[in-house]
Structure 1
Amino acid sequence: MILRKKSSVADKSSAEATTMFANEQSVEDPQDRRPHHVQIPVRHGSILDFARHSLFAPHPAPSDSNPTPAEWKSSIIHTPPEKQLTLLAFRLAILEKSATGLGALAFIWATTVVLSGFLDDLRPNDYAFVTVILVIEGIRIFSRSHELEWQQLPAHPLSNSGRVQLQGDVCWIVASKFISRALSCLQLLSAVTCVTLSLMRLIDQDYGAEVESKRNASISLNLFFGLALGEALIFLVERSYWAWRIYWCRLLENVSREYKLGPMGIAPIRRFFYEIYTKCVNDSVFDGFKMNLVSFAEDLLDSEFHEERLMGLQVLRKLVGNARFVFGTLRKIGSSTSTMERLIEMLNWKNPGEEEIRLCAAEIMSELAGRRRNVLRVAAIPGAMESLSSLLHSGSTSDQINPHELNLLGLLIFKKLSTDHHNCCKIGSTRGLLSKIIGLTGSSRDRDTPTAQSRIVKRSLQLVKMLVETDGEVGKMLRQEISKIVFTVSNIREMVKNGDIQMQKLGIEILKSLSMDEHAKEEIGNTGGVIKLLLSIFFMPRFSDDENYVCNQAGETLAMLALESSNNCDRILKKPEVLKKLIGVLTDPVLRINASRILRNLCAYTRMECYDDLGQVAVAMPTVLKAILKEKEKLLEASVGLATQLCKFTNADEFARALEQAEIQEIELVEKLVEILKEYEYPDIKVPRIRRFVIEQAIWMMNSDSNSVGLFEKFGMERLLESVEETTSELECFHIFSGSVGLSRHRKTMPYLVETASNIMSAGN
């Protein structure tokens, strides 16, 4: 039973846009010994733009020089939110270095001047004040440096396995926070104490300066206490500014909210801020401007600790998921080979505790592969395809990770990589990869398949469709390799039979593309039920545009299967009343183009011993003749092509009766054929076989009735044949096309046909 589900309205031109036929001819030209598949030179012009997306005709590869509207919008430069943190760290570092400089000067002054030069002149309390201030400042500097170290420690520095006991986690987090806050309080207490002691001595001024010998000592002490006071005040200003910006203005929360980091956002933002601040304090104050959140996250990927690696991945995942920052983030990641190599390496991590890391890396790679500039960079990494293929493994995962998520992400990455020919070639040459992809198309044959598994099947079908539709020699190789996998056709048959309308579309389009390969064409025909299934879809009742599209695709696939395959022609003819049904839909506005193609191929490639089965096809001649006079473009091409083959089953008298039944005069038909050659003065990329069909029909008419020669002469056929001979091209020499590469060359060349028609006219004269 074929499932038909209503879905969004498809583009009505899509049925024509996927047509693959270009020309067919069953008569062999013994002089033509050229290869049957060559690269066709294509003229670039407006006519190519019109048919750029048609598969039935050659089309050039699209240019990727200009960004898409979405990429252009996302490439707008935005001021990074972390710039506020960088400026804060810069200002705080200036204050910190100023305080440290004054402290160092005070220490040097105290040790080299006060304590060395005036030790005998100091009172005991002055000596005690100087000593206490020096000790306090030493404690502050010590606690300051160690506070920064504790702030940058990972959550679990004693374990990198990712499997730490919960009790140990809690104890370590509580201890680290307590130590950090204790050191911070110690700094504040030291600074306040220093301010208090310095002010006390500066206000009292009881240094014993009444003695002339102690005046220099008092000046030195005032300078020391002034330096100590300045250092402590600058530090307190720094801490006040810090507290105001961090706690009152909630700067970390604002940056996290702007990046949409969610609940996990505060921890990496705080860690990032301390990294910048430490770099500004320990090195140049301008070094912080060289850092950004992306580079910070990239550095975390190389950490030895599980939590830090996961933190870096989570930050990158959030950034690439934010439309405002995705362009800049992916550009930075894509320009770092080491980062991409690290992400690729993480895809191979299969330990239970590392599944979340693997999932995050896969999500980032899926975004990275979606950018055209990065498509080749990703695939160029050694071992990238093998690592990506590990995502398609159907093994079990932990409860936290959906078992289908990695499969879906792997398929999505390969879909994006498949937009490039070189990557398609690598996919085809990666050992076991195509088998894994095909295996996912048969994940479930149950109509009640869970949603996630159904998505896997659909996405795998989409990937297979992209691969088999690849242009040129790469596409030929992929079609051959995919058709060799024994489960390919049977899996697709089940999806077409039991899947929804979208799966039917994908499955039929895959069969259509596979049928471009001679071996695959026979495999499809040999697989039980495929041709019967396609015929039932082609003739089924239709109630929506989607169903019209599916029916047309089924018809086109049948025409492809019958092309140059006498075995498949026999299989089609064995189905009950198939000819009657095909003749009946020649008047159906949706199906008549593909019905004409199927009938033409049946007439052209069926074995001679089966011709008796085709005898009834001649009754379609009046309908076809009417279409020749009334229709245009593709239907006109298909009708003329069918007429040339129907004439094989009729004689001159039967042809005349068919004209009479169609209420058409022979002169009208001749005039129409001549008008077609006049209209198509040059080969047309939309209907490349129409001139060939017209000449073949004219040859048959002139051979069967000598009076037709005079009619063709009357309308200037000789001059038109000369024009055709001068304008023939490779475009008219092939049955089907893969991109701009012609496949399955006609055995009879256009010059041969033109010469034959000219000789008949000359003999008639």
Structure 2
Amino acid sequence: MNAHAGDEVQLHRRRCEDGFDSDGGSSGSGSFFEPWIEPDTRGRGSGHGHGARKGGGYKAAEKRVTRFALQLAVLEKAASVLGKLAFVWATVVLLGGFASSLRVLDFWSVTVVLVGEGARVFSRGNELEWQRYSTRTSTAGGGGGAIVSSSSRFCRRVAQAVAARACGRRRAVVDSTVQADDDDVAYARQRARHAPPVPYAGWVFVSKNAGAVLKVLQVLSSAACVALSAIGLCKHDRGGDDATADETRNQRPALVLFYCLALAEATLFLLEKALLAWKISFRMLLDEVSSECELGACGLVPLTRFFYDAYAQCVGNSVFDGVKMDLVTFAKELIESDFLDEQLMGVRILRQFARSKASAPETLRKEEVRRCAAVVVSKLVGKSQNALRVAGIHGSIESVMSLLHTARNTPPARRRHECAASSSSSGEMSYDHLGFNLVGLLILKKLARDHDNCGRIGNMRGLLSRVVEFTHAPPTLLLLRGSSSQTAGAATDSQIRAVKRALQVLKMLVTATGNTGKKLRREVADRVFTVSNLRGILQHGQGHRQLQKLAIDVLTGLAMDDRAKEGIARTGGVVKLLLSMFLNADLAYASELSSGAGEALAMLALESKANCGVILNKDGVPGRLITALHDAALRLNAARILRNLCAYSGEEWNARLRAVTAAMPAVLQMTMRETESEKLLEASIGLTTQICKFLDGEQFARELRGAGVDRAEYTERLASILRRHTYPEIRVPRVRRFVVLQAIWLMQAQAHGDDCYYVERFRQLDMGSLLQSIADTTSDLECFHVFSGSVGLSQHRKSFTDIVESALELLDSDRE
């Protein structure tokens, strides 16, 4: 039965890690009735990213494309500069100065060249836009075709509905037609952004064909410019019959210069087009790069878009801007686009790079650089001043979180691919998840020393879940004493260190003070694997005492939250394990863990009726706790646990708790001993006030005699405690409250034959003056059960001021 339950737990955990439900469907959206681990949306930081594809011996194949775009951009910019010079020279000098004296042939030649080149320059930018648009819509099979096919499908379904109506199936078909109509409307809305500017415009408005038309027109314009410029240069007589006239003597050299500029500009443009056609169409540059990058069958379209984007960057900005581009950054920009087809292109590029082995050597170098940087950061944050500076850097916590990536965060498809790649490539190093995990947890541990940094860590989405995930230690890991393989042994030690550091981080977070600590405790407790992971460490970690102590400390911190403490008690086996660690003094680790386990139990029982019932349900708990009062190492927490059980368990447990009266002699002796610590004194008096609920005055007198304590000495002891604590003490903030409560009970008790003894005795001890002094020095420090730093938690139900006033009224009630 237990093995079957364990298999179900492991299956459930794998389902949560893999992101798939039991039916095989994706559970990415998650169900509110099932837990899931947040997906890793920030990347691994060591894959085929932008930084991993620069430098070193590995040269990205797409650099061939960007360099070719640079060459074309140089020709384009040179042609543009010559064109601008020719345009200015023609408009200012020729048409401005010699317009009336130019021959008709020269005038129209200059005009045609200016108009043609102007149109070519203007259409150049539109050509790039059409080319980019064509790659945007090509993944979906065209922009306008989708809407046309959608319309045809709609018409076809309506026709089928009309035909079906004649056959007597009107209602069913109409319902299906309405559903089809809704589907087509949704589809058309989704594709609306991809539609061409003018719908149903046919072949002309298809983006790819429009770009081709503009390209042909540009080539024809440049060819005409070359022809006209060459013809103009061949004519030597440019000044008419009177070439020496003053108004025409500069006309010939002006025309020659213009024709030279126009010829050079058009020649450069034709050379650019010829180079483009040679490289793209004949040498198949894009196909070769796509093959080298392992982009697959669908890689040509995004690579074409990448080429035109790089070319546009070189032409529109600096000629070197396009050279800085790489496919990974380009893919990320496409994913952030508003167009579905562009997002699809970006995802496909990243998917192909994730499967590629070409960048593996560079990835290893990137890992080493990243690991060294992480180690440096871990050293820097060792000082509080540096920790504040590092945490204040935008994105620093997110960067640290990227170090906590594990194989369990990897999607199943990619995980299978990585396993296949690592098995097929012998001798190659795999990604060192654990090494980065240890450094990342160390950085978080040092950052969490500062209160403000704890808040930043808690605000980072998914980080707490990642830290909680590291606290999962399988029994095989905790019970493993050694290994025959040295490598396996080192891996096991590293895994244990990762669990330890994760527990240390959680301990710092749940023990944070103020509102920040309250929020963090609630968020950590809301992770459904937190308590179960801690339970596994308590159950199987006998060989790792430090891990068990840290797990107990985390449970104690979580128990300060009311909702979290009930969740801890509801988790099967936790209370039982804590009781076993606290009460089994014969165990070797009792001295180390019993104190923490006892404090955790006392915190769980504090102001929680349900938790008190869980504890009392265990076999022989009251008797075992009473026995623990005689053990010097256990008596402090045993007294705290018994007091909370008596105070908050409810009336239904009174019958079982009456056995606690057997502890009264030991508790009274602890109260009377001067050598006891202040904390134990506070706990013993507090337990006495709760045990007295099951006694009357006569029974209490018998308990005093049984403990060998005189009632006069007992009252004197209570008064001396109040004299010693004239002000609230931080170490024992509740001692004065407990003493006054015990004094009230004694004065209210009706001892047989001597009803007013304690009232008279307290008057002799000048208890009235002591109580009045206490009333003048009460503080909020005495109004809470526990504290988170300087913030009080679990406030007492009755104020200390009211308690002191009640004691004063009892002292003055019988005074004549």
| Whole-angstrom distance in 1 between the partners of 2:635 and 2:757 | 32
Tell me what 2:517 maps to.
475
Residues 1:162 and 2:56 are matched in the alignment: yes
Show the 5 A alignment for 1:235-250: none
Alignment of 1:712-723 (within 5 A): 712-723=762-773
Which residue number corresponds to residue 129 of structure 2? none
1:421 matches 2:466? no
The 3-state SS of whatever aligns with 1:664 is coil
Contact 2:786-2:794 within 8 A present in 1 as well: yes
Alpha carbons 1:163, 1:353 under 8 Å: kept:
no
CA distance in 2, matches of 1:512, 1:367: 30
1:363 aligns with 2:375: yes
State TM-score, norm by structure 1: 0.54
Where does residue 731 of structure 1 map in the other structure?
781
Q: 1:445 to 1:393 in 2, by over 3 A?
A: farther
One-letter code of the match for 1:565?
S
Among 463, 476, 482, the alignment partner of 1:433 is 463
The question of whether the paired residues in 2 share the 8 Å contact of 1:725 and 1:751 is answered with yes
2:605 corresponds to which residue?
Answer: 562
- Aligned ranges for residues 550-699 of structure 1 at < 5 Å? 550-630=593-673, 631-699=676-744
Deviation per CA, 1:412-456, whole angstroms, max 9, x where unpaired? 000111111111111111110000000010043322451111111
Structure 1 runs of 4+ aligned residues shifted over 4 Å read 349-353
Give, in angstroms, the shift of residue 352 of structure 1. Answer: 4.8
What is the CA distance between 1:162 and its match in structure 2?
3.4
Q: CA deviation at 1:541?
A: 2.5
**Alignment-mate amino acid for residue 593 of structure 2:** V
Note if contact 2:403-2:440 (Cα within 8 Å) is conserved in structure 1.
yes
Alignment correspondent of 1:760:
810
1:702 and 2:596 correspond: no
Amino acid at match of 2:596: Q
1:575 & 1:163 partners in 2: Cα distance? 67
For the 8 Å contact 2:578–2:597, the answer to whether it is kept is yes
| Distance in 2, Cα, partners of 1:448 & 1:506 | 18
Shift of 1:403: 3.2
Within 5 Å, give how 1:88-99 maps onto structure 2: none
Identity %: 48
Q: Deviations over 1:718-744 (max 9, x none)?
A: 010011001111111110011111111
Q: What amino acid maps onto 1:621 in structure 2?
A: M
CA contact (8 A) 1:735 1:743 kept: yes
Deviation, structure 1 residue 480: 0.4
- 2:433 is paired with a residue of what secondary structure? coil
Query: Please, what is the CA RMSD of the aligned residues?
Result: 2.1
Report if the CA contact (8 A) 1:640-1:693 is conserved. yes
Q: Which amino acid aligns with 1:486?
A: V
Question: Aligned partners of 2:376, 2:556: CA distance in 1, in Å?
Answer: 34
Structure 2: 5+ residue runs without aligned partners?
Answer: 1-52, 60-323, 326-360, 408-417, 423-427, 481-491, 751-755
Taking the aligned partners of 1:350 and 1:654, their CA distance within structure 2 comes to: 83
**Secondary structure of residue in 2 paired with 1:684:** coil
For the pair 1:745 / 2:639, whether they are aligned, the reply is no
Contact 2:405–2:433 (CA<8 Å) still a contact in 1?
A: no
1:458-492 alpha-carbon deviations (Å, 9 max, x no partner): 11111111111111111111000000000000001
Q: How big is the shift at 1:764?
A: 2.4
Do the aligned partners of 1:548 and 1:590 also contact (CA within 8 Å) in 2?
Answer: yes
One-letter amino acid matched to 2:598: G
- 1:353 Cα deviation from its structure 2 partner: 4.5
Q: For 1:446-465, what aligned pairs fall within 5 Å after superposition? A: 446=476, 447-448=478-479, 450-465=492-507
**1:400 to partner: Cα distance:** 6.7
> Shift in Å at residue 160 of structure 1?
3.3
What secondary structure does 2:560 align onto? coil
SS in 2 for 1:528: coil
Where 2:786 maps in the other structure, the secondary structure is strand
Greater displacement, 686-695 / 739-748: 739-748
Q: Which amino acid aligns with 2:517?
A: G
Matched, 1:392 2:404: yes
Aligned residue type for 2:374: A
Match of 1:374 among 386, 389, 406: 386
Q: Where do 1:309-328 residues align within 5 Å? A: none
Paired with 1:448 and 1:649, the residues of 2 have a C-alpha distance of 46
Structure of higher RCO (CA pairs closer than 8 Å, 6+ residues apart): 1
Deviation string, structure 1 residues 222-281 (Cα, Å, up to 9, x no partner): xxxxxxxxxxxxxxxxxxxxxxxxxxxxxxxxxxxxxxxxxxxxxxxxxxxxxxxxxxxx
Deviation per residue, 1:347-379 (Å, 9 max, x gap): xx9945411111111111111211222112111
CA offset digits 1:105-145 (Å, max 9, x no partner): xxxxxxxxxxxxxxxxxxxxxxxxxxxxxxxxxxxxxxxxx
Q: Which residue identity lines up with residue 773 of structure 2 in the other structure?
A: S
Aligned residue identity for 1:572: I
**Do the aligned partners of 1:531 and 1:572 also contact (CA within 8 Å) in 2?**
yes
- The secondary structure found in structure 2 opposite 1:688 is coil
Distance 2:568 2:587 in 1: 28
Q: What residue in structure 2 maps to residue 411 of structure 1?
A: 441
Give the whole-Å Cα distance in 2 for the aligned partners of 1:644 and 1:491.
Answer: 38
What amino acid does structure 1 have at the position aligned with 2:724? Answer: E
1:510 aligns with 2:404: no
How big is the shift at 1:751?
0.9
SS in 2 for 1:437: helix
Q: Which has the larger radius of gyration?
A: 2
Task: List aligned pairs for 1:178-197, cutoff 5 A.
Answer: none
Counterpart of 2:514, as a letter, is: G
